[in-house]
Structure 1
Amino acid sequence: MHLTATAQTLRVPGARLHYQVRGQGPLVALVGAPMDADAFEPLAHLLATDHTVLTTDPRGIKRSVLDDPDQDSTPELRADDLSRLLTHLDVGPAAVLGSSGGAITALALAQAHPEQVHTVIAHEPPLVELLDDSDQIHAQTDDIIATYLAGDVIGAWAKFMTQANITMPEGAIEAMFGGERDPQVVADERRWFAHELRATTHWRPDLDALRSAATRIVVGIGDDSAGEECDHTSRALAAALGIEPTMFPGGHTGFAEDPDHFATPLRAVLHES
């Protein structure tokens, strides 16, 4: 059993993608945006006992280097990258767990290349376009981005958490995003604010295409996410597709916070595929 990840690089248009493969069995891809491959490592290790598990850094994040650092990261580009990775591995079709922006990547892949993915588990996609107050949220997002790019990191994150309706303990934002920080983390954060957040939250799914595709769509929501923005967007997607959401332990990043518990319902979904 190959539980140790094999790290490799794939050249794609405009970028060199870092990716990792571990395990043996049916292929499952774990994708985030802006989360890198390392965020999924504990969950990937658990699944690798009976799956081939693909993890990757999205273009422009960490070890996936862009030819043009100023290029925006769109769901379509990230879906094309994932498609090329799946083609390169040639062990599909795959199941894809996408979380947050990665859930939008997975949905974009299902629209563009349904033959490559038999199941998409879209865990808390920030599909703002499906909400009635999308214009207001987009305006708030533009203000958050401007705040960050003006140098007010703490202020930008405070506005972001308020918009997402995520309650933080007093002083938590300052502790997480102030003081000395890892330069790579800061670089990835800046890329997300400057070149990824807007395009991701403006993406509108082709609901007719998703309804008619052979790809099975599962909408995942964290048990602890009730009332948060991504709870609302996920429920809007499930309602539009005429399906019931599947609940997962934890909140928006439950896959990283408690991978052991998260893996249980995920395995149940994968076994139904």
Structure 2
Amino acid sequence: MTLSIDSTSGALAVPGARLYYELRGRGPLLAIVGAPMHSAPFAPLADLLASDHTVLTMDPRGHYGSAIDDPQADSTPELRADDLARLIRHVDAGPATVLGSSGGAVTTLALLQAHPELVQIAVAHEPPLGQLLEDREQQLAANEDTIATYANGDTIGAVRSFLAGAGLVLPEEVFRNMFLRERSPEDVASEKYFYLHELRGTAGWVPDLDALRAVADKLVIGIGETSAGQFCDRTSRALAAELKIEPAVFPGSHGGFVENPAAFADRLREVIADR
């Protein structure tokens, strides 16, 4: 059965940007954030969670509906955390449970560090914190190579390099369907902004471990059950070890919320109920 959930959308002016966001459902506030992933891929999960939550989704600054004043301005986890803090205050329904995926998990950690009063529970699902790994210098160098590849005009080479570094293997047919088809101007602009103005700041971000230890009772570190050995599995486990937190296993892989949103929603509810 397909759910039909009404949603409302809005825009919030913040320093340097105008943020597009969506609200659906009723109940305690649950914010779902990605980076660079925008609100649309989260919609099936948000619809499921809206039966018992007010669900907030958004487009990160520089992507899709969230235009920035200066297209050359970089996006950092701190900026995105400030954006999210302003949105939580704007909808006036916090403190919030926050689910962040990938780069959005880094945003979530930055929010928890800077604005713990706005966070009820922070679920950081597979944050790419390469600076916590022993091979951190190689990880930074690999990201710089990926960025340079994109800047030199080899978009497909940059995408393949990025996926390889993340340990994400796509069947060639799936890769071609995703990246070699004709793409919308919005897709292309989002991709460009990510590689040239977002990847470096996210990949090089170093969490304040002492600040996170002080609020560890609010933090859940999520890993996908089929992500073993992948880059974000390694980084998530490294963060969990630093904070002495047992990771919570979620269905699927790095994108488990897209692969099986119903199973992911059920697991998220279990994790929230256990806190």
Q: Scaled by the length of structure 2, what TM-score is found? A: 0.96
Letter in 2 for 1:250: G
Residues 263 and 243 of structure 1: CA distance in aligned 2, closer, same or farther (over 3 Å): same
Identity of aligned residues (%): 58
Instruction: Show CA shifts across 1:172-229 (max 9, x none).
Output: 4344212421221111011100110110011111111011127511000011111100
- Partners of 1:26 and 1:100 in 2: how far apart? 23
1:258 aligned partner: 260
1:5 aligned partner: 7
> 2:38 is matched with which residue: 29, 36, 39?
36
1:68 aligned partner: 70
> 1:119 is matched with which residue: 96, 121, 127?
121
Which has the larger displacement, 164-173 or 194-203?
164-173
2:228 aligned partner: 226
Contact 2:216 2:243 in 1 (8 A): no
3-state SS, counterpart of residue 46 of structure 1: helix
- Partners of 2:223 and 2:156 in 1: how far apart? 27
- Partners of 1:121 and 1:166 in 2: how far apart? 22
Any stretches of 5+ residues in structure 1 without a counterpart? Answer: none
Letter in 2 for 1:131: L
Letter in 1 for 2:115: H
> 1:187 is matched with which residue: 186, 189, 197?
189
Instruction: Show CA shifts across 1:47-68 (max 9, x none).
Output: 1101010000000100001011
- Partners of 1:191 and 1:122 in 2: how far apart? 23
1:89 aligned partner: 91
Contact 2:121 2:218 in 1 (8 A): yes
Contact 1:122 1:219 in 2 (8 A): yes
Instruction: Show CA shifts across 1:121-163 (max 9, x none).
Output: 0000000110010111100100001111111111111111221
Residues 178 and 21 of structure 1: CA distance in aligned 2, closer, same or farther (over 3 Å): same
3-state SS, counterpart of residue 147 of structure 2: helix
Per-residue deviation, 1:238: 0.6
3-state SS, counterpart of residue 172 of structure 2: coil
- Partners of 2:216 and 2:248 in 1: how far apart? 19
Any stretches of 5+ residues in structure 2 without a counterpart? Answer: none
- Partners of 1:25 and 1:210 in 2: how far apart? 27
Per-residue deviation, 1:258: 1.1
- Partners of 1:90 and 1:32 in 2: how far apart? 21
Letter in 1 for 2:72: D
Summarize the alignment of residues 48-67 of structure 1 with structure 2, pairs less than 5 Å apart.
48-67=50-69
Residues 269 and 74 of structure 1: CA distance in aligned 2, closer, same or farther (over 3 Å): same
1:236 aligns with 2:238: yes
- Partners of 1:239 and 1:104 in 2: how far apart? 17
2:151 aligned partner: 149
2:274 aligned partner: 272
- Partners of 2:51 and 2:194 in 1: how far apart? 33
Contact 2:250 2:256 in 1 (8 A): yes
- Partners of 1:79 and 1:116 in 2: how far apart? 11
Per-residue deviation, 1:165: 1.5
1:133 aligned partner: 135
Residues 168 and 263 of structure 1: CA distance in aligned 2, closer, same or farther (over 3 Å): same
- Partners of 1:6 and 1:176 in 2: how far apart? 29
1:23 aligned partner: 25
1:246 aligns with 2:252: no
Instruction: Show CA shifts across 1:65-101 (max 9, x none).
Output: 1011111010000000000001111111110000000
- Partners of 2:216 and 2:241 in 1: how far apart? 18
Residues 20 and 179 of structure 1: CA distance in aligned 2, closer, same or farther (over 3 Å): closer
How many residue pairs are counted as aligned between the two chains? 272
Q: Scaled by the length of structure 1, what TM-score is found? A: 0.97
Contact 1:4 1:23 in 2 (8 A): yes
Letter in 2 for 1:197: L
1:202 aligned partner: 204
- Partners of 1:212 and 1:45 in 2: how far apart? 33
